[in-house]
Structure 1
């Protein structure tokens, strides 16, 4: 792609904060579209947010993700006051803001993933059927049901997230957070996969899935700290 001299000059003159915000919005839209492509949400259900400084960019309410454009950027401060855009923020804003205020989250992904939601109907906690349980801080709890978009639901979610980076929402879906959108999304995908694994194993007549112990999860948590490439 080539740029005119005027275009390059305009880009260079753009404040660093604005460039960061624009890049974050592009990444947020891409992540939101991915939740649909990967079957974690249907239509405009679920929502995604990312924190840039003291501003939280969020998906707007009721707008199909494939229609979101750069000029649709929607942002609020940590008190929920809209500071960017004119579209109404997601109805789940209280839940997102509660997570940002209580944790070190820089990105939050909320979905209505089928297998995870099914598990939320059956048990108060996803049994530790796989070592990736440790990547979410331990066995994933189910936040008790409350109406969507309410402060009550936000409180339930924070309780379920204590010591965790993800939880299930009873009769509703999932929420995960991370230091970036990629990490938050990966945790959502891992959570959905583990829920599918547990449901599959539990469906075998006369058999019960073997579960990992606390000691085994602790060992994995230590190993995960050394996983991946080093700078």
Structure 2
């Protein structure tokens, strides 16, 4: 893959920041090249994840957005560009203050939410969607009822952040309160946001959240019946068991 580098607004070659962090003593040529390759690979993963949200029906058009952090550089999908049109040359990156340092495209309008997550957690990736079932649930309840133990994978019962206009600091602040002790939340009349140590983990949490919302809507729609819910202790137990789930390396 060709290195997707462009000059930044201040005329410095994009990618030097990552190169300096991975190079010897502040970024020699070898370190810069390695850093640039890391950025290129991560950008490809960001684009692939964004396209996956469309393919899996979690977003429509250019709604939703994806980002990943490498050092103090945040790679993020640009505003209003269909994901299937993104190329290596369209790489878009900002620092943790939101200043564009890589590429020429305008970052997603939801950048305040992404940066708020990176500044307050150990997240390395963030996925935001407008998934239909999750958005529907966000209009009905202040917290997703615990219909399934996979709520534990997100840290516990999933809260709904109160509505605020998209792209605002108010929305980012509401989101942070809903995320306290959690790795995902619903955004009232809006959608979902999840984070993780990798893009795959952040995406999986998004998919699990949408599935749990669909499950609750399906179960609660049966006339005359009310879904059974798990207790806090049961969710906590599931969380402990999930820590040992999967293969060991």
Q: Do these two structures clear the TM 0.5 threshold for a shared fold by scoring above it?
A: yes
SS at the partner of 1:15? helix
Instruction: For structure 2, list consecutive stretches of 5 or more residues without a partner in the other structure.
Output: 1-29
Matches within 5 A, 1:48-127: 48-127=66-145
| 2:156 paired residue among 115, 118, 138 | 138
Structure 1: which 5+ residue stretches go unaligned? 1-11
- The residue aligned with 1:3 is none
CA offset at residue 14 of structure 1?
6.8
1:202 pairs, out of 213, 216, 220, with 220
Q: Is residue 2:44 matched to residue 1:15?
A: no
**1:120-177 deviation per Cα after TM superposition (whole angstroms, max 9, x unaligned):** 0000000010010000000100000000000000000000000000000000000000
Structure 1 counterpart SS, 2:69: strand
After TM superposition, the structure 1 = structure 2 runs for residues 184-199 of structure 1, keeping only pairs within 5 Å, are: 184-199=202-217
Distance (whole Å) between structure 1 residues aligned to residue 43 and residue 246 of structure 2 = 27
Please state how far the C-alpha of 1:16 moved relative to its aligned partner: 1.4
Q: Could you tell me how far apart the structure 2 residues matched to 1:89 and 1:209 are?
A: 41
Q: 1:205 to 1:101 in 2, by over 3 A?
A: same
Task: Map 1:157-172 to 2 at 5 A.
Answer: 157-172=175-190
Task: Write the deviation string for residues 4-44 of structure 1: whole angstroms up to 9, x where unpaired.
Answer: xxxxxxxx997211111101000000000000000000000
Which residue of 1 is the match for residue 199 of structure 2? 181
- CA gap of 1:70–1:122, structure 2 versus 1, over 3 A, is same
- Count of residue correspondences: 220
TM-score for the superposition, normalised by structure 2: 0.87
The counterpart of 1:219, out of the listed 237, 243, 246, is: 237
Query: Is 1:150 the equivalent of 2:158?
Result: no
Corresponding residue of 1:30? 48
Q: Alignment RMSD, CA only?
A: 1.0
